[in-house]
């Protein structure tokens, strides 16, 4: 079953590339981890998996080849288990489950900005091309799936949190947006933030804040 599943993914995958020197700055995990792709029909398939924050795709390693799971398979996926983490699809994106409670779900969507090398400019200076141009260029030749991006590109990881509170799904990527979500508990969230240094780039810090708000 595993062999047939991987052949299926290969037949509709997006890009295929040979393995390079490992430098997974644009992947979520430090290397490809043992994982399971659980389909909605209950079929479980083992694979070595990682999440590419640059292309925002789940990628698997088949004998040293990196391949993103194709669009035709995505609607069939229920949950992806990578190492000890669980990913599901929310708003057509893979997100990792941080909190899974009856009235409060918290997910994290991993992303990253690719900063291209500066172009020579007048008077010996440099000008920065747009990150959109950078992304397009590395996508066109498939470098985004490589384990190591070109050395002259800078990678800035960031993420977006998704909070499903009382059946309403909202996203936040800074403290101000988080406070707006809890505007009905303004004093409680303000007091918590005064006493706790909540850092939006720290998963545990955000998870602790959401857990506190859910329980008070």
Nearest-angstrom CA–CA distance, 177 and 162 = 11
- The Cα angle at residue 25 between residues 15 and 158, in degrees rounded to 5: 100
107 & 209 share domain: yes
Compute the radius of gyration of the chain from its Cα atoms: 20
128 & 185 share domain: no
Q: Is 91 part of a structural domain of the chain?
A: no
Q: Is the pLDDT score of 10 beyond 80?
A: no
Query: How many structural domains comprise the chain?
Result: 3
177 & 124 share domain: no
pLDDT digits 0-9 by tens, 82-135: 999 999 999 889 999 999 988 899 999 999 887 776 654 444 444 444 444 444
Lowest mean pLDDT among 73-77, 150-154, 174-178: 150-154
25 & 126 share domain: no
Enclosing domain of residue 39? 2-86
Helix axes 186-195, 203-214, angle to 10 degrees: 140
191 & 106 share domain: yes
What CATH number corresponds to the domain at position 8? 2.30.30
Q: List C-alpha distances in Å: 143 to 47, 54, 153, 192.
A: 22, 10, 11, 43
Look at residue 18 in the predicted model and tell me its pLDDT. Answer: 36
H-state helical runs in the chain: 2-12, 131-140, 175-181, 186-195, 203-214
pLDDT digits 0-9 by tens, 43-72: 999 999 999 898 888 999 888 888 888 888
């Amino acid at each position: 079953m595993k062999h047939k599943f991987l052949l299926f993914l290969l037949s509709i995958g997006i890009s295929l590339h040979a393995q390079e020197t490992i430098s997974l700055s644009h992947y979520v995990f430090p290397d490809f981890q043992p994982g399971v792709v659980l389909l909605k029909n209950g079929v479980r398939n083992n694979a070595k998996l990682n999440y590419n924050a640059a292309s925002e795709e789940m990628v698997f390693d088949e004998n040293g080849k990196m391949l993103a799971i194709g669009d035709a398979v995505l609607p069939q996926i229920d949950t992806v288990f990578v190492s000890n983490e669980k990913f599901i699809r929310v708003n057509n994106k893979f997100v990792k489950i941080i909190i899974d409670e009856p009235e409060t779900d918290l997910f994290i969507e991993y992303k990253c900005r690719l900063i291209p090398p500066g172009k020579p400019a007048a008077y010996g200076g440099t000008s920065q091309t747009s990150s959109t141009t950078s992304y397009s260029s590395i996508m066109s030749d498939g470098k985004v799936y490589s384990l190591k991006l070109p050395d002259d590109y800078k990678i800035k990881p960031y993420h977006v949190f998704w909070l499903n509170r009382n059946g309403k799904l909202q996203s936040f990527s800074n403290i101000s947006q988080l406070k707006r979500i809890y505007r009905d508990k303004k004093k409680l969230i303000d007091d918590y933030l005064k006493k706790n240094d909540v850092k939006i780039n720290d998963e545990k810090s955000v998870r602790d804040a959401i857990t506190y708000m859910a329980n008070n």
